[in-house]
Amino acid sequence: IVDGQLKLVEGELSKGMLENNTCYLLDCGAEVFVWVGRVTQVDERKTAIQAAEDFISSQNRPKSTRITRVIQGYETHSFKSKFDTWPSGSAAPPSEEGRGKVAALLKQQGMGVKGMAKGPSVNEEVPPLLEGGGKLE
């Protein structure tokens, strides 16, 4: 998908043809996959979904045709099975670049990394749920 327009890519389906700065539409008849590269912009991702919807209507497909968004590194087995070659065990580890951003955001909000409010600890006496003087029958 380039600038919201579908561009036909010919050849054997392989993982190597998917670029991380691009979105792709894979037409499988009753289901359409929209593969989203890791470094694509948000507006490109929205445009890709809209292009998939437009594609389905232009092909006179039923409205029940499913659109499945697939994010790079989190490809489903169903998506991978459509490719002639997909290296096994090639799942990319989840990105760790966002971890520092979350900690900084929590710190800015006055929270610790564990999500607990920073400040002096409060020792609170919890009242007993049952009184000890009753009978158990």
> Which CATH number fits the domain that encloses residue 81?
3.40.20.10
Indicate whether 113 belongs to any domain. Answer: no
Tokens 């989190």 locate to 74
Per-residue pLDDT reduced to its tens digit, 48-80: 999 999 999 999 999 899 999 999 999 999 999
The total number of structural domains in the chain stands at 1
Indicate whether 34 belongs to any domain. Answer: yes
Structural domain including 101 reads 15-108
Indicate whether 32 belongs to any domain. Answer: yes
Indicate whether 127 belongs to any domain. Answer: no
- Predicted local confidence at residue 92, as pLDDT: 46
Tokens 């590269």 locate to 37
Structure confidence at residue 2 as a pLDDT band (50, 70, 90): confident
Structure confidence at residue 120 as a pLDDT band (50, 70, 90): low
- Buried-exposed string 28-40: b where 16+ CB fall within 10 A, e elsewhere: eeeebbbbbbeeb
> What residues have CB less than 8 Å from 17, skipping those under 6 apart?
9, 11
Arithmetic mean of pLDDT, 105-127: 57
Indicate whether 124 belongs to any domain. Answer: no
Structure token pair of residue 99: 């971890």
Give the span between the Cα atoms of 46 and 24, in whole angstroms. Answer: 12
